[in-house]
């Protein structure tokens, strides 16, 4: 495929991933209303409602990670090779958080997470296995 077409596809996929991330963050604020009653009750029982040190550290982890993700996506949007490596590193670190605690999320957020994984894989494929980022 022509390099200019690959770059257009990369930009479209980056914009789609950005939309999925924004939509997922927006839906996470109302996620407890999207859960079945039993799961919502379980989630409320296991959340104390008070912000502790680990909650603040987790929030900072997510904010820094989200900032780095957006920077790497902006770099990829302008076809920078360093941004592909940064994107890979951020995704790997974000993936580790799943190991530390169970999560309860509505099906819609899980569906968006699946599409996020697909789009992320496409970005990796275009960034590392094509000449889309070549000068």
Range of the domain at 12: 3-43+52-129
Q: How does pLDDT run across 78-114, given as a tens digit for each residue?
A: 999 999 999 999 999 988 877 877 777 888 888 999 9
Tell me, yes or no, whether 134 lies in a domain: no
User: What phi-psi label fits residue 79: left (phi over 0), alpha (psi between -120 and 50 degrees) or beta?
Assistant: left
Domain count, the chain: 1
Tell me, yes or no, whether 27 lies in a domain: yes
Q: What are phi and psi of 25, to 5 degrees?
A: -65, -40
User: Is the pTM for the entire model greater than 0.85?
Assistant: yes
Where does the pLDDT of residue 49 fall: very low under 50, low under 70, confident under 90, or very high at 90 and above? low
Given this model, what pLDDT does residue 58 score?
81
Question: Lowest-confidence range among 38-47, 57-66, 68-77?
Answer: 38-47
Given this model, what pLDDT does residue 13 score?
98
**Do 129 and 40 contact (CB within 8 A), yes or no?**
no
Tell me, yes or no, whether 135 lies in a domain: no
């Amino acid at each position: 495929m022509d390099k200019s077409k690959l770059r257009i596809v990369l930009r479209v996929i980056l914009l789609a991933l950005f939309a999925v991330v924004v939509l997922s963050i927006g839906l996470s604020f109302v996620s407890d209303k999207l859960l079945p009653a039993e799961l919502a009750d379980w989630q409320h029982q296991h959340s104390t409602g008070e912000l502790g040190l680990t909650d603040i550290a987790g929030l900072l982890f997510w904010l820094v990670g989200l900032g780095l993700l957006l920077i790497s996506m902006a770099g990829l949007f302008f076809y920078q090779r360093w941004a592909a490596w940064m994107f890979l590193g951020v995704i790997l670190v974000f993936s580790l958080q799943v190991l530390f605690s169970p999560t309860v999320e509505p099906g819609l957020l899980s569906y968006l997470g699946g599409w996020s994984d697909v789009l992320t894989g496409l970005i990796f494929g275009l960034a590392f296995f094509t000449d889309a980022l070549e000068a």
